[in-house]
Structure 1
Amino acid sequence: MKEKLARNISIYRKEKGLTQEELAQMLGLSFQAVSKWENAQTMPDISLLPQLSKILEISIDKLLGYVARDKPITIYEEEYKTEKYYWGTEPNEACYQVLQFMPPTKHLKLLDVGCGEGKDAVFFARNGYDVSAIDVTDAGIEKTKRLAEKIGVHVNVFKADVLDYRLDTHFDIIYSSGVLHYIKPEYRKEIFDNYKQFTNENGIHVFNVFVNKPFIAPPPEKEPNAFKWYSGELLTHYHDWLIKDSSEIVFDCHSSGIPHKHAMTKMIAQRITSLD
Structure 2
Amino acid sequence: MREQLARNISIYRKLKGLTQEELAQKLGLSFQAVSKWENAQSMPDISLLPELSRILGVSIDKLLGYISQDKPITIYEETYKTKDYYWGTEPNKVCYQVLQLMPPARHLRLLDIGCGEGKDAVFFARNGYEVSAFDVTDAGIEKTRRLAEQAGVRLNVFKADILDYRLDTHYDIIFSSGVLNYIKPEFRTEIFENYKQHTNEHGLHVFNVFVHKPFIAPPPEKEPNAYKWYSGELLTHYHDWVITDSPEVIFSCKSTGIPHQHAMTKLIAQKPPA
TM-score range, shorter chain: over 0.9
> How much does 1:236 deviate?
0.9
CA shift in 2, pair 1:21/1:69, >3 Å: farther
Contact 2:104 2:127 in 1 (8 A): yes
Q: Which moved more, 1:237-246 or 1:39-48?
A: 39-48
- 1:139 aligned partner: 139
Distance 1:236 1:14 in 2: 21
Length, aligned pairs only: 274
- 1:192-213 deviation digits (Å, cap 9, x = unpaired): 1111111111111110111111
User: Which residue number corresponds to residue 169 of structure 2?
Assistant: 169
User: How many angstroms apart in 1 are the aligned matches of 2:239 and 2:22?
Assistant: 36
- 2:234 corresponding residue in structure 1: 234
Q: CA deviation at 1:58?
A: 3.1
Cα–Cα, structure 1 residues 15 and 222, in superposed 2: closer, same or farther, change >3 Å?
Answer: farther
Over 6 Å off, 4+ runs: none
What is the deviation of 1:15?
A: 4.6
What 5-or-longer segments of structure 1 have no aligned partner?
Answer: none
Distance 1:42 1:202 in 2: 36
The whole-number CA distance in structure 1 between the counterparts of 2:15 and 2:69 is 18
One-letter amino acid matched to 1:179: V
Aligned residue runs from structure 1 range 99-248, under 5 A = 99-248=99-248
Which residue type is aligned with residue 261 of structure 2? K
CA contact (8 A) 2:112 2:121 kept: yes
Pick which of 54-63 and 220-229 moved more. Answer: 54-63
SS of the residue 1:125 aligns to: helix
Gaps of 5+ in 2: none
SS in 1 for 2:144: helix
Equivalence for 1:3: 3
Distance in 2 of aligned mates of 1:268 and 1:81:
32
Separation in structure 1 between the aligned mates of residue 150 and residue 49 of structure 2, nearest angstrom: 43
Q: Secondary structure at the match of 1:175?
A: strand
Deviations 1:83-123 (A, max 9, x none): 01111111111111101111111111111000000000011
Larger displacement relative to structure 2 (13-22 or 182-191): 13-22
Distance, in Å, in 1 between the alignment partners of 2:181 and 2:24 is 33
Distance in 2 (alpha carbons) for counterparts of 1:211 and 1:221: 15
SS at match of 1:205: strand
**Structure 1 residue matching 2:158: 3-state secondary structure:** strand
* Superposed CA RMSD: 1.9
Task: Tell me the percent identity.
Answer: 80
Counterpart for residue 273 of structure 1: 273
Mapped partners of 2:204, 2:77: distance in 1: 29
TM-score by length of 2: 0.93
Which residue number in structure 2 is paired with residue 85 of structure 1?
85
Counterparts of 2:72 and 2:16, CA distance in 1: 21
* Matched-pair contact (CA < 8 Å) for 2:15–2:186: no
TM-score w.r.t. length of structure 1: 0.92
What amino acid sits opposite 1:242 in the alignment? Answer: V
